[in-house]
Each structure stands twice: as C-alpha cells, then as structure tokens.
A and B are shown apart, each in its own frame.
Chain A
Amino acid sequence: MISVLSKDECLEALRKMLMIRRFEEACIDAAHENKVPGHFHVYIGQEATGVGVMSTLDRGDYVHSTHRNHGHLIARGADPNKALAEILGKAGGYAGGKAGTLHGCAPDLNFPLSSGIVAGILPIAVGTAYGLRVRKLPNVSVVFFGDGAMEEGAAYEALNLAALWKLPILFVCENNTAEVDRRPGGGQYHAPNMSIIELTDLPRIMGITTQIVDGLDLGAVWTAARDARNRAVNGEGPTFFEVRTHTWPGGQWPTLITGRTDISHAWTNEVPAQYEKNANWFKRNDPVLSVAREMLKLGIASNAEIEGIDMRVRTEIDSAVKFANDSPFPSLESALENVWPH
C-alpha cells in the first residue's frame, strides 16, 4: 500500500520509476541502432523494487549491484546523461566508457561498482558494511542481486559472514521469475534452480531476518526497507528480502515486446490488440502501471498530473539520449589511464 508514503514521496517515486522505464526504452532503441556495445540487461518490471528500497536510504549508505544495474543507478539519483553515455561506451559516461552496461557505477553517490559476475558483489557488500561498522557510521550497505546469485557459493559465505557479525546490510534478492514453477533442477537461465523451495529459508536458518515482498507493491517494499534499515543501524543485524517480480516478456534479449509504455493505460486499462498475447503484463504485472493505478485510486494524483510527470521524464531522457549520442568516444590514450602502473 503506497499510503505509507506522503503525497510528495509518492510522486517522486513514480517519477523515478518512469525515469527507469524511459531510460531502458532508450537503451533498447539505442541497441536497435547498434549503438550499445555488448549484451545488456534491463530493469523493466522491477522498478518498484529499486525505487522503493532506495527511497529509504541515506546519502551515506552504500549501494551495490550486478549486471542488471541500470535501474539501481537511476533510482539512486544518478545522472541519466552520464549513465547512458557510459552504456554507449562514451567519454561522457561515469567511467569514461570503460565500464559500460555491466559495471555501472556512480561513486559520488556511494555506488562504487557493479559486478558482472553472478554473486560476485555479495562479499564486497558485506565488506562495505563492515567498514561502516568499524568507522561507527550510522549507515547501511545495500546489495541488490538476482535469484540466480543464490546458486553460487559466494552468496552462502557472504550471508554467513554478515549474520555472524550482525553487520548493517540489506540483502535485496530480486526474484524476477516469481511466476516460474518452483521445481528444483530445471537448470535453465531464468528459472529457480535451488533445492530449497523458498529462497528465504537459507538466510533464516543462519539467523538473518527475512521477508518475502511483493515487487508490485511499492509501499510494501518501502516499509520493509525502512524497517530493515532501522534495525541494521541499531545493531540488530542484516535483513534478507526476496522481492518477487514477474519476468518482463522482453527480458531474454531486450526488445520492446510489450511496446513503449503508454502511461494512459493506467486509467484506460486498455490492452492494445497487438499485445494481446502479453495481456497479463498490462493488467497486472507492470509495476509502473500498477503504482500509477494505486495513486489514482487513492486520489494521490490525477491522470493529468501523472501525464505531466511522464512528459517531464521523457524530456529529460530525450536530452540524455542527445547527450550520450553527442558525447565523443574516449581518447585512445585514456585506454592506459586509471590502472597502475601506467
């Protein structure tokens, strides 16, 4: 329930969610123009998770992510110009074009890196939490990772270390395959592949507070993260969330399989004829439409206000696209910079 947020918080959260959606649509467009080097992973369908958690954080908290980091960067407040330029490998990007989509970062926002190695980020996040503890800072470390990370040994070790020393960390496991039959042993990308049925069972027996959260429910994500952050800062140790979202039909390789989001579908409830096959996406599983509908229902915003937010976001993303396209490729000499001993 988004009624836990103030009107302004709601409007800001919807703005961020739309910003992520429009940013990812711009990435997909750029890919179709062959401008995106390498393969990439979009955050469509998971917007309420990143935005909900990030809205509860303090500037001094650390944020960590994976191969699917675009949404986390934007939710953290990263500059979309620099974020998009980075994805295109341009000089104007956060890392001067060296990181690209897999390793998005915004160090000025305490978002030091993203690891493209499944589960590679978890032990590092435990380490930043330890740093905060030793430095006696009233902050937490937050790590976002996919359900697949739970298959790696590094996840087990990281959870144990955090639990053992009650470190101030939020483990946000984004299960984007919530609808997939939880039958162990399928062995396929985008399918749960654990011998346990509930991902939260593992951290719970280690003594970590756990919670399953609906990734379409912005208010639930926000409340859960706020409480977990308070516990962590008070020395009560880590929390593990499994946030359940639905696989966006275009996710396997980003194509706009459900079309460019039309925010008016929030009130027309229309499922465009050409997307009939993915009707559930429009009716239920799209968090952007779903949060907009909740806001309309509670009278937090009108159709016109929501359209206005979307319009401003689109203008901002249009200029990010222009910035990224206009940004030059990095100079060849820069290839040898930023690494010792060059």
Chain B
Amino acid sequence: MEQTMFGEAKIKAVGDLMRDDERVVIIGGAGFGGLLHSKYVKPLFDEFDSRILRTPIAELGFCGMGIGAAIAGLYPIVTIGTGSFAFEAWPQICNEAPNITYMSGGQVKVPVMFHALVGIRISGAAQHSARPQAMLMQVAGLQVIAPSRAADVGPLLKAARDSERPTFWVDHSLLFEETDLYPPGKAPPALGKAEVVRAGKDVTIVGYSIDLVRCLKAAVELEKEGIDAEVIDLRTLTPLDWETVCESVGKTGRLVVADECYPSASVASEIASIFADKGFGLLKKPAKRLNFPAVPVPLSPPLEMHLLPTVGKIVQAAKELVA
C-alpha cells in the first residue's frame, strides 16, 4: 500500500478544490501545518498566490469576512491557525455563520469552511491547546468535520463544499505526518457517515482525528494480546453517525471512546449517551471514556503526558472491558 502522509493528502485536497473551481479562495494564510511542514504547504501557496488573502492578526474580522465572501459567491477556506485562536472569532463562527440560512428562511447560503489545527500539540500550554470541537457541536447550523485518513480528506472536503453549509474543519496539529495504518474503505466517505476502519468482535473503540490514530495503534497492540478490537472513525462530528456505533456495540457489547476534549459535554459523552437511548441495553459492561481531565493544559511535559488519552490508556481500558 502506498504511504501518503495525511498532511500531503490534505494539501492536495485543498489544491484540487481550488483547481476545480476558481471561486474557492483562502482567507487567513496561516498554514495548514506548523513550521516544520511549510515545505509541503509552500507549493500550494505558490500556485494559488493570488487567491490567498494574507490577513492581519484579526481572527474575528477575517472569519467574518469569510462569511460575507461566501454570501457574495465565493467558497472561502478560512485558515485560523491554532485552534485556540478560533475563540477570538467565536461570535462570527458560532453566532453569525450558522444562523444565517435559517434566519433567511433558507434563502441565504453560507458556503464557508473554517480550518484550524486544534488539540494538544505537546507543550502548547494552556492557551494554544484548545479542542473546540465539542463546543462547536453545540452550534446548530454548523457542520463539523474531522478527517484523519489520507484517503478520506479529499472526498470529505468536496462533500462539505457541495453541501453549501458553513463547516468547521477540525484538523489536528499532530496529524500531518501520520500515514494510514489500514486500507481505505470501499465506499467514498460521506458527511455524517462513520467508518469501521478495523473490524473486530471483542470491543468497540471509537475515535476521530488524532484520537483515531491512537485507537488504531491500540488495536495493533491489542491484537498481539489476542484481543480483536473494532475501531470506528467518526470522521464527521456534526452530523454524528450513531447508527454505525450502535451496530458495532451490538456485536461487541463493549465500548471505549478516546477523545482529547474535556469530559463534560464532550464527543465521548455524546457517544456514550447513545447507549442511554437508542442503543439502550446493548452494553454488557459500562462504557469507558478517555478524555483529557478537566484542567487547563499544563506546559510541563510529564504533566501533559499524564493527562493525555494515550495509546497505552486505550489498550488498558479495552483489556479491562474484555477481561
């Protein structure tokens, strides 16, 4: 299997969107990667130089501009940079973009995509490590996508554009150099459709973005110990595919969810809540949710590592459930 880095695939995906339709523009100009990855991003920025609006440090202003430009016929990809900076633009992302189509009785479309490198990036400390995705799931009218596999990113971006809905692309700062551990699915990814990346019968492990990578690595470890894990990539957080998760837990009766968000009102708690409702009675053991504990992200490396939902913790949780 050819090994494409996720980062390269996403740069190609953005380039394809831009080649395909000249109304696609980039606003922001903060990279799709960190300093180390600028050599991969540079060709894209060179090719489309005239369609990139390099902005001042003005997240509130340029995210709002993205909304306006979308209304006026463009398809802006607004690059915010570090996920924590999205909070500077919160009023536009959460209280303007998602309401406009509804407030106009469906007449005004807002085809804009916000992109940010969210998450625990290692040593980002309290103000550069936000995982805003669970908060964004509280925003009615906003689509939230979180591709993490090279094969998925292109089709998902295209689907998001075709949907003409305001979309937040939750990208993770540590995903760039990851390569797919498992082959792509048979059907192209669709909005609101999770994927069973690895089929298994003993325990269901659910993740997305960097946490999916950790889940898959955990599955490899578990296999060595004779535990056959089924791993699900949520891929899109809004809409959320509860059916695929239910189906899997129907088989395994056991659930582990890995999610860098804080525990309360998180992606993990949303997944677990399925089993108090539509999936009631399917669990044979209590679900295990692995979140980042509810403390600001500390700088000190041992503290940060202590709090992260690591591969080791996922393995441990699965083993406890299967034992």
A residues within 8 Å of B by Cβ? 37-38, 89-90, 96-103, 115-120, 148-149, 151-154, 186-188, 193-194, 253, 329-330, 332, 334-336, 339, 342
CB distance from B16 to the nearest CB of A (A): 25
B224 interface residue (CB < 8 Å to A): no
Extra contacts, 17 of them, besides A330-B303, A336-B295 (Cβ < 8 A), are: A38-B299, A89-B303, A98-B125, A98-B298, A98-B299, A100-B125, A100-B299, A101-B299, A102-B299, A117-B84, A148-B56, A152-B58, A154-B88, A193-B57, A329-B301, A335-B293, A335-B295
CB distance from A115 to the nearest CB of B (A): 7
- Complex Cα distance A100/B56, Å? 27
Nearest B residue to A88 via CB reads: B300
Looking at chain A's contact residues, is the secondary structure mostly helix, strand, loop, or mixed? loop
- Complex Cα distance A153/B92, Å? 13
B35 interface residue (CB < 8 Å to A): yes
Q: Which 3 A-B residue pairings sit nearest by Cβ, starting from the closest? A: A187-B54, A100-B299, A97-B300
CB distance from A187 to the nearest CB of B (A): 3
CB distance from B239 to the nearest CB of A (A): 31
Nearest A residue to B91 via CB reads: A153
Q: How many A-B residue pairs have CB under 8 A?
A: 107
**Assuming A187-B54, A335-B295, A335-B306, is B88 touching A102 (CB within 8 A)?**
no
Which one, A119, A148, A152, A335, contacts B303 given CB within 8 A? A335
Q: Are A99 and B299 in contact (CB-based, < 8 A)?
A: yes
CB distance from B86 to the nearest CB of A (A): 11
**Assuming A116-B127, A117-B85, is B54 touching A89 (CB within 8 A)?**
no
Q: Are B125 and A103 in contact (CB-based, < 8 A)?
A: yes
Q: Are B57 and A118 in contact (CB-based, < 8 A)?
A: yes
**Assuming A118-B57, A152-B57, A153-B61, is B128 touching A342 (CB within 8 A)?**
no
Among B51-97, those with CB < 8 Å from A are: 53-61, 84-85, 88
Q: List the A side residues contacting B301 at CB < 8 Å.
A: 37, 89, 329
Q: Are B303 and A332 in contact (CB-based, < 8 A)?
A: yes
Q: Are A100 and B88 in contact (CB-based, < 8 A)?
A: no
Q: List the B side residues contacting A339 at CB < 8 Å.
A: 294-296
B279 interface residue (CB < 8 Å to A): no
List 16 interface pairs A-B (beta carbons < 8 Å), by A numbering.
A38-B122, A97-B298, A97-B299, A98-B296, A100-B123, A102-B127, A103-B126, A117-B127, A152-B88, A153-B60, A153-B61, A194-B56, A332-B302, A335-B295, A336-B293, A336-B295
Q: List the B side residues contacting A89 at CB < 8 Å.
A: 123, 299-301, 303
B15 interface residue (CB < 8 Å to A): no
- Complex Cα distance A99/B128, Å? 12
Among B117-148, those with CB < 8 Å from A are: 122-128
Q: Are B300 and A330 in contact (CB-based, < 8 A)?
A: yes
- Complex Cα distance A342/B298, Å? 15
Q: Are A37 and B57 in contact (CB-based, < 8 A)?
A: no
Nearest A residue to B89 via CB reads: A153
CB distance from A90 to the nearest CB of B (A): 7
